[in-house]
Structure 1
Amino acid sequence: MSKPMHLCNHPGCMTLIPYDQRYCEKHEYRKPTSYADKEQRHLMNKATYHRRMTSKHEGKYQRFYRSTAWKKLSHHWLMMHPLCVSCEAHGIYRKGDLVDHIVELRDDWSKRLDPDNLEAMCISCHNKKTWQEKHKRAAKHEQK
């Protein structure tokens, strides 16, 4: 009888490996080899978190998305509106994974807790929308 198999833990890797391993041979480098490596990774993650939370441009938004008010509102919104609005518009019924602001916070901070500015979206649709808005913003910035 052979060992049970599972996918490699590296994001997107579809290699099947024995159940008692975490990574395939290709991604074995991701596995911390010692306590020092784990400590180094922890310090890097801590520095990244601190930089994002205190950044002049990102900090305000990062703190908002971690606030109790946002967590309660977004959780309630998903309970009341469980389907992705973008998929539903195309006749597909898919569970909404997160709550998105129709008008981005960067464009109108006052609408951050406005229920009329919220919509439930699946991860895929949210990523597409975010990518499009990011590129629109970059194009506007280049025109100036």
Structure 2
Amino acid sequence: MKYRGDHTQKFYQSREWRAFRARMLPRLRPHGCAYCRRPFEPGERHLQLDHIQPLKENWARRLDPSNVRLLHIGCHTERTHRPDRRRPVNNDGLPDDWV
């Protein structure tokens, strides 16, 4: 795993992030994985809320609902750790029907 700065690590452990994640998961889950487009299995728990614009690029968007998407954990790993294999979902990185 790549090293995260102290402020980023603290953010992902904060109540603020956990509450935001809890609000976003049910909203994004019905759309399936924003990377591979496959639906999530019923009861699937290994999902990753991914920042479209990384925190290191724009800290101010860390809790912006338009800057997150839901991915399978494997898709998140591929997208995050293999830059040569990154691919956009659409222009804004969100499912087409996401509101």
Q: TM-score w.r.t. structure 2 length? A: 0.68
Q: Name the CA shift for 1:65/1:85 in 2 (closer, same or farther; >3 Å).
A: same
Kindly indicate whether structure 1 or structure 2 has the higher relative contact order, using CA contacts under 8 Å at least 6 residues apart.
Answer: 2
For 2:8, the equivalent position in structure 1 comes to 61
**TM superposition score normalised by structure 1:** 0.48
Cα distance in 1 for partners of 2:77, 2:5 equals: 18
Cα distance in 2 for partners of 1:131, 1:99 equals 15
**Aligned length, in residue pairs:** 78
Letter of the aligned partner of 2:74 in structure 1? Answer: S
Partner of 2:36: 87
Is the 1:98–1:121 Cα contact (8 Å) retained in structure 2?
A: yes
- Distance (whole Å) between structure 2 residues aligned to residue 84 and residue 68 of structure 1: 25
Shift, 1:94, TM fit: 2.6
Q: 1:7-46 to 2 correspondence within 5 Å?
A: none
User: Which aligned runs of 4 or more in structure 1 are off by greater than 4 angstroms?
Assistant: none
Q: Deviations over 1:22-67 (max 9, x none)?
A: xxxxxxxxxxxxxxxxxxxxxxxxxxxxxx8xxxx61010000011
2:70 maps to 120
Q: Distance in 2 between matches of 1:78 and 1:113?
A: 13
Shift of residue 133 of structure 1? 3.9
CA contact (8 A) 1:74 1:98 kept: no
More helix by share: 1
Match of 1:107 among 38, 57, 60: 57
Q: Which runs of 5+ in 1 are unaligned?
A: 1-51, 137-144
